[in-house]
Amino acid sequence: MAGQKKDILLRVNLVFLGFILFGSFILFSIGKVQITEGEMWRSKQQALNLKFVEIDPMRGNIYACDGSLLATSLPRYDVHIDIMAPAITNAVFNEKLDSLSDALANLFTDKTKLDYKQLLREARNEKNRYFLIKRNITFEQRNKLINFPLFNLKKNNGALIISQLSRREKPFKELASRTVGFKVNDSTITSVGIEGAYNDYLKGIRGKRLMQRISSSVWKPVNNENEIEPKDGSDIVTTIDINIQDVAENALLENLVKNNAKMGCAVLMEVATGQVKAIANLKQNEQGVYEESYNVAIGNATEPGSTFKLASYIVAMEDGFLNPEDTIPTYGGRRNFGTETIEDSHPDGKFYKSVKDAFAHSSNVAVASAIYKYYQKNPQSYINGIKKLHIDDNLAIKLSGATYNSIKNTGDKSWSGVSLPFISMGYETLLTPIQILTFYNAVANNGKMVAPIFVKEIRNKSEVVQKFSPVIIADSICSQSTIKKAKILLEEVVKTGTAKAIKNSQYSIAGKTGTAQIASMNGYDKKTYQASFCGYFPAENPKYSCIVVVYAPNSGLIYGSEVACPVFADIAAKVYSLDIKMHKELNRYPDSLFAGFPIIKSGQANQTSKVIKSLSIPYDIQSNGWVDTNLKKVENSSSFVPNVVGMGLSDAIYLLESFGLIVQPIGRGKVCKQSIKAGIKLEKGQKIIIELS
C-alpha cells in the first residue's frame, strides 16, 4: 500500500514538473518573441498592412509645329474622406453635414442632397476611414470641392484624400490620329505613332506613395504627400502643320468617298529638311467608314507603277544613254517581251517620241524598250544603278509599322526574262509611298536625299532637351547634270503631259502620275488599280514635295491624273496661300506713270480726291468706289479677291473683310503683297495675308 502511494506521488511530481517546464518554455518563447524577435515580427505584421504604390506621372504633351496640342493628359481626381479623422468630431460632423450634402449635390448633380446626407451618415456609423466621395472629377471640380464644409477644416489631419489620375485626350480628335498614335500598357498590343516611338521621353518617372490596409481589399494613403514625387514626362514638338494637315485629310477623304476607294494617303514634306508637314492616312472599315486605322504611307508596300519610271530614266541618263530631247521607239504603244505584252494606257499610234514627251505621257513601251535596249546584256548594272539612287533604303523611321523592301537582283529566284522591262515601269518591286516621296524629294533638293522626320524637338517644360536636324541619307543620288534633266522631265508632265490639269498661273508644279494594277494571289486584277501622283512645288525653287496614293478606286476613274492629282492640287493651293514667301512679286507700275506726280496709296476715290484737291494738285478722279496708285478705278467683283496692293492698312482690311476674308497683316506702311492674288475666285472665310512696307 505504501509502495503504491509512493508511486502515485512520483507520478504527480512528474506531471507537476512537466507543467513547470512547459510553462517555463512558454514564458521563454514569449520573452524571445517580445525581446529578441519582437522587431522582426512587428516588421512583418506592418509589412502585411503597409505597402508602397507607384504613382504615374503626367504624360508629356505632343504638339504641332505651331504649338497646337495634338495630344495631352488631362488631370482627373478620385476623392475619398476619412470620416473618422480626429478633426471630424461628432459636433463638427453634425454641424457641417447639411451644408456639405447640399454643396455635393449642386456640384455633381448625380444625387440629391438627402442621398448624400444618408450616405455620409452611414459612412460615419460604419466608421469608414476611406469613404469614396467621387471618382474621375475634373481639376475645376477639385478646386471647388476642397473648399466645401468639412473638407476645408484648418486641422483636417488628412481627412480629405485626393488621388490624381490622368486621361489622354486628342484635342483635334482624328486629325493625324494614327501618326500621333496611342500608348498602351498591355504588352500584347503594340503602341503606335509618336506616342509609342517616343514613349521613353513622354512617360516620365513614377513616384511612390505609402498605403495602409484598412480592410481586406481597401488601402488608403498614410500621408497626403507622396514619399517620392513623380516626374512628369517631356513634351514632343512634331513637324506637323495643323492647317495643312486639316486640308490634306479633308481633300483625301472627299476624294476617297467620291471614288469609293479602299484606302489612301497623302504626305507633304519640306524639301530642304525632310520635315513632314502633313500625313493623312485613311482606310475604309467594314461599315464603309473611313478612319485613321493604318499608317498607309509608311507601312503599305506595293508596286508603285509609273512614278518609278523617273528612277529608270535617271539611271539611263546617268549612264549617258539618254537625254530629254533624244528620240526613242514607242512601237505604236504596244510591244511583246517574250511571252508578255506591254501596252500604253493611251496609245496614240506613234512609233517614235522624244524622251521628254514619252515621260510626260507616261509611255510604258518607251521606258521598257529603252531600258531593255541598254541593259539586256547586263541587267544587274541597271539594278545597281537603281540602288545607287537609295530609293529602297531603310529610312529609319521610328514609327512602328514602317515597311521596307529591297529591289530584287538578277540572282534572285523570282528574276525572269521579263523582269527588266517590267521593273523599269514600276512592277515586280515593292515600295512604300514614303520611300517614293523621299526619292522625289531628293530630286527637288538637287540630289541631296534627306530622311523624312516627324519630330522637331523634345522639351522639358520650356527647356529644349533635344533638337532634331535633317538626316542626310546621301549627299547626292546622281550628278547635277542628271538632276537638271530629271527636273525637265518632271516639269513637262505638268506643262503638257498627264498632269496638265493641275497646271496653274500662281506657282509651278513638277511631278509624275502613276497608275498600277494591284496584284493579288491570282495575278493582276484588271479592275483594281492604285492611282498616284508624286511631285514638288514651286518647280523652279522647290520648297515642298508631296505624294498622294489612292488604292482601289471603284467609281470608273482609275488614273493618277484623275484620282490623285486633285488631292495634290488642293494641298498645294493651301500651302501656297499660307506661305507668302512662295508668292511671285506682283507687277509694279512703271515709274513713268508717276512722273511729276506724288506717290499716293490706293484707297477710296472720294477721300483720295479730297486730299488731292487740298494739295492743289491738278488731277480729277472720274470714278467712284476704290482707286489704285495710278488713280484708276479698281474693278472689284464680289465673286473675286480684290486687289489691295498700294492701299493703307485700314483701307485694305476694310475692303477685304467686306468681301468675307480673314485678314492677317504683316509689317507697317502700305500693302506691297497679298497672299491670294487679285482675281482669284473668292471663298468666304478664307485667310489672306497682306504684307506692308
Per-residue model confidence (pLDDT) at position 101: 94
| CA 678 centroid distance within chain | 33
| CA 46 centroid distance within chain | 50
Q: How buried is 46 (Cβ within 10 angstroms: 0-12 exposed, 13-18 middle, 19+ buried)?
A: exposed
Per-residue model confidence (pLDDT) at position 156: 46
**pLDDT value at 234 more than 70:** yes
CA distance 161 to 550: 55
- Owner of C-alpha cell 460632423: 93
C-alpha cell at 519: 496584284
Q: How confident is the model at residue 331 (pLDDT cuts 50, 70, 90)?
A: very high
Please name which of 543, 353, 588, 512 lies closest in space to residue 444, comparing C-alpha atoms.
543
Angle at 550 between CA 547 and CA 556, to 5 degrees: 135
Per-residue model confidence (pLDDT) at position 530: 95
Across 306-310, 334-338, 588-592, least confident range: 588-592
CA distance 357 to 327: 9
Residue-range domains of the chain with CATH: 53-234 (3.90.1310), 244-582 (3.40.710.10), 591-692 (3.30.10.20)
C-alpha cell at 221: 494613403
**pLDDT value at 591 more than 50:** no
Residues pairing with 530 in the sheet: 516, 551
Contact 374, 319 (CB under 8 A): yes
Contact 513, 564 (CB under 8 A): yes
**pLDDT value at 545 more than 70:** yes
Residue type, 31: G
CA distance 415 to 410: 6
CA distance 558 to 517: 10
Please name which of 76, 67, 266, 56 lies closest in space to residue 176, comparing C-alpha atoms.
266
CA distance 592 to 461: 58
* More confident call, 526 vs 562: 562
Summarize pLDDT for 177-208 with one digit per residue, the tens: 889 987 665 444 567 889 999 999 999 887 77
- Owner of C-alpha cell 451644408: 99
Angle at 21 between CA 20 and CA 27, to 5 degrees: 90
β strands within 214-289, DSSP E: 219-221, 235-238, 263-270, 276-284
**pLDDT value at 601 more than 90:** no
Per-residue model confidence (pLDDT) at position 582: 78
Contact 568, 264 (CB under 8 A): no
Helix-helix angle 364-375:309-318, to 10 degrees: 40
For 166-185, the DSSP string reads EEEE-TTTTTTHHHH-B--S
Angle at 346 between CA 536 and CA 529, to 5 degrees: 65
Mean pLDDT score, 389-402: 89
The CA-based diameter of the chain, rounded to the nearest angstrom, is 163
Report which secondary-structure segment, H or E, holds 298.
helix 296-299
CA distance 452 to 472: 10
Q: How buried is 624 (Cβ within 10 angstroms: 0-12 exposed, 13-18 middle, 19+ buried)?
A: exposed
pLDDT winner (highest mean) among 125-134, 204-213, 562-571, 584-593:
562-571
C-alpha cell at 127: 466608421
Q: Is the entire prediction scored with pTM above 0.75?
A: no
Collapsed DSSP state (helix, strand, coil) of residue 57: coil
Summarize pLDDT for 407-449 with one digit per residue, the tens: 899 999 999 999 999 999 999 999 999 999 999 999 999 999 9
CA distance 601 to 593: 14
CA distance 106 to 386: 71
Handedness of CA 472, 477, 481, 483 (dihedral sign): negative
Per-residue model confidence (pLDDT) at position 261: 95
List b or e across 15-28, with b for residues whose CB sees 16 or more CB atoms inside 10 angstroms. Answer: eeeeeeeeeeeeee
Per-residue model confidence (pLDDT) at position 250: 94
CA distance 628 to 620: 14
Please provide the average confidence, as pLDDT, over all residues in the chain: 84
Contact 349, 361 (CB under 8 A): no
Convert 351-404 into a string of H (helix), E (strand) and C (coil). CEEEHHHHHHCCCHHHHHHHHHHHHCCCHHHHHHHHHHCCCCCCCCCCCCCCCC
Distances (CA, A) of 369 to 275, 356, 379: 37, 15, 13
CA distance 375 to 310: 16
**pLDDT value at 603 more than 50:** yes
Provide, for the chain, the percentages of residues in helix, strand and coil under a 3-state DSSP scheme, each rounded to the nearest 5: 35, 25, 40
Collapsed DSSP state (helix, strand, coil) of residue 75: strand
**pLDDT value at 590 more than 50:** no
Please name which of 552, 549, 553, 547 lies closest in space to residue 572, comparing C-alpha atoms.
547
Per-residue model confidence (pLDDT) at position 248: 95
Contact 248, 219 (CB under 8 A): no
The DSSP code for 32 is I
Residue type, 190: T
Please name which of 305, 203, 284, 280 lies closest in space to residue 514, comparing C-alpha atoms.
305
